[in-house]
Amino acid sequence: MQAFGAGLRGCFGRKLAYLKLRIMFTLVVWNFELMPLPEELGTFAAKDMLAHRPQKVYLRLRECGM
């Protein structure tokens, strides 16, 4: 939320940005199959900074044949 500001003078494009993210994730789920990752890449390791940030973020996708 800090990226968009807060209050009455916050970013008016926030709703559009969230909508684009929802559309992107929906298209990924519809068009690809999420495959399991190898053990060395599929970890929950994270760093605590301003926010709890993951160290490794990977996806293994296979295109669905429709």
pLDDT digits (tens, 9 = 90+) for 35-50: 998 888 888 888 888 8
Mean pLDDT over 3-22 rounds to 80
**Predicted local confidence at residue 1, as pLDDT:** 47
d(CA 58, CA 66): 24
Per domain, the residue ranges of the chain are 14-63
d(CA 29, CA 22): 11
Provide the mean pLDDT of the chain.
84
d(CA 38, CA 6): 40
| pTM reported for the whole predicted model | 0.59
Model pLDDT for residues 51-60, shown as the tens digit of each residue: 888 888 888 8
**Predicted local confidence at residue 39, as pLDDT:** 85
Q: What secondary structure does DSSP assign to 3-24, as a single string?
A: TT--STTS-TTHHHHHHHHHHH
